């Protein structure tokens, strides 16, 4: 393997440099704007990893990239010779970089440029997720002293929404359409969706908004319990505040494993798959663009679910 010295992206790589700039400013395939977090991930992978490698390898045009280049780039990230720190990168980190680079190369090809290279992502061990049982969730809700905190636990557990989505909610986002109840969610990339919620939870949220929630200049549903010393007003809850609250409630409920807000999302998806919910419908409820995430992360429930579903249909025949 040839020894390469990574250079600063300011050295430029011709057409590739321009294409990366265009890609970072382009909307997604569905015409939506990428979230700030997603944009930073792509920028880091393309400007911080791909461009320096291409500059050192003398590659300035997409057509010059080969599978050999991509393999060399991946290998160098894994062994540390191509990382900015000089230390080997973990497989999940390299996997994320390669996925972003491949997305960019596919976009370049769709734009009419000649490119045939594609990087192979390092194989990752399947994660076995630790989830919360329904009894543990009940215990955490019971341990909460404030109705606000009880509702945060119950809404995260019974809707599968992300913490950031929950904290963006306003009283007007609790919807009733006939006998059906929904929570309007502002998801990633400005994608709104309606998430079904149980009637009892909808009534609790509405009652909280009318009678318990403090008056505030903020339109958010969930506010701090004390006034801000700086503004004298009740501010919108922050993610760090809820994360700390969740940790303390888990301890109060006697749960010894690590509990964090996103664990409720994993637990909800696992629960619904085990109950036999259609994965396609479930992906829409939780805001996944495709089934890829469910297939990769929740494979641990598919065999048991498949067995139970098959036995149910066979015994009913």
| 168 backbone φψ class: left, alpha, beta (φ>0; ψ -120 to 50) | alpha
Distance of CA 143 to the CA centre of its chain: 28
DSSP track, 51-76: HHHHHHHT--SGGG--HHHHHHHHHH
Residue 23 Cα to chain centre, angstroms: 21
The single residue of 42, 53, 97, 298 carrying the catalytic annotation is 298
Alpha carbon 177 to its chain's center: 29
* Residue 188 is a catalytic residue: yes
Distance CA 228, CA 56 (A): 52
34, 150, 204, 288: the active-site residue: 288
CB-based contacts of 242, cutoff 8 Å, min separation 6: 152, 163, 167, 261
Select which of 18, 126, 262, 312 is catalytic. 262
Is 181 an annotated catalytic residue? Answer: no
Q: Which of 188, 191, 194, 284 is catalytic?
A: 188
> In angstroms, how far is CA 173 from the centroid of its own chain?
21
Among 110, 16, 11, 119, which Cα is nearest to 63's? Answer: 16
Catalytic residue among 154, 162, 168, 213: 162
Full 3-state SS string of 118-172: CCCCCCCCCCCCCCCCHHHHHHHHHHCCCHHHHHHHHHHHHHCCCHHHHHCCCHH
Q: Could you give the angle at which helices 36-45 and 91-110 cross, rounded to 10 degrees?
A: 90
SS3 113: coil
Would you please indicate which residues are annotated as catalytic (active-site) residues?
Answer: 162, 188, 262, 265, 288, 298
């Amino acid at each position: 393997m040839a020894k390469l010295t990574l250079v600063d992206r300011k050295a430029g790589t011709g057409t590739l440099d321009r294409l990366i700039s265009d890609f970072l400013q382009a909307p997604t395939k569905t015409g939506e704007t990428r979230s700030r977090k997603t944009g930073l991930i792509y920028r880091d992978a393309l400007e911080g990893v791909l461009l320096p490698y291409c500059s050192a390898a003398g590659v300035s045009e997409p057509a010059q990239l080969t599978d050999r280049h991509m393999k060399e780039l991946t290998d160098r990230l894994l062994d540390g010779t191509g990382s900015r720190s000089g230390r080997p990168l973990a497989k999940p980190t390299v996997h994320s970089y390669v996925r972003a680079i491949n997305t960019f190369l596919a976009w370049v090809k769709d734009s009419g440029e000649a490119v045939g290279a594609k990087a192979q992502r390092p194989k990752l061990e399947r994660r076995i997720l630790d989830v919360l049982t329904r009894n543990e969730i009940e215990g955490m809700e019971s341990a909460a002293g404030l109705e606000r905190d009880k509702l945060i636990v119950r809404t995260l557990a019974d809707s599968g929404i992300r913490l950031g989505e929950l904290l963006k909610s306003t009283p007007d986002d609790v919807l009733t359409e006939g006998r059906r109840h929904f929570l309007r969610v502002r998801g990633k990339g400005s994608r709104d969706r309606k998430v079904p919620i149980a009637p009892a939870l909808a009534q609790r949220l509405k009652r909280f908004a009318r009678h318990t929630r403090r008056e505030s200049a903020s339109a958010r549903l969930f506010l701090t319990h004390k006034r801000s010393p700086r503004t004298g007003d009740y501010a919108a809850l922050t993610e760090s505040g809820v994360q700390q609250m969740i940790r303390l409630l888990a301890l109060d409920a006697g749960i010894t494993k690590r509990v964090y807000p996103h664990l409720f999302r994993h637990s909800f998806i696992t629960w619904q798959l085990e109950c036999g919910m259609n994965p396609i419908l479930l992906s829409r409820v939780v805001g996944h663009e495709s089934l890829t995430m469910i297939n990769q992360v929740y494979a641990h429930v598919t065999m048991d679910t498949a067995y139970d579903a098959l036995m149910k249909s066979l015994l009913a025949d």
